[in-house]
Structure 1
């Protein structure tokens, strides 16, 4: 099955200045509930910002600023 996904998904540079185009990912989405991308080049704040695009993040964890005010 892993070989099937490798042969389907492609990543191509969009331009010298802008990310990449990913195609063929719908096959993986049809087979798996979650896709994990290793070693993201994003900071923690960027990941949270991106995640907020999908809705409110619910967490019982407190950041350093919240912990200082307790």
Structure 2
């Protein structure tokens, strides 16, 4: 791991749902705004923004583990 990787991991995370924006341009401007403020921005392309983000992340990890046959 190099210094740049450690810096990226220490940034706070901000989550954006692309479906909340009327255009790709509006979404990109909002993403850039938070990036300039020092956030690591995670963008979701679909799904319901009022869904608990932790449930979605847990499901993603479980699916990944199942696909890679990790036990």
What TM-score, normalized by structure 1, do the two folds share?
0.22
Q: Rg: which structure is higher? A: 1
Between 1 and 2, higher relative CO (CA 8 Å, sep ≥ 6) is seen in: 2
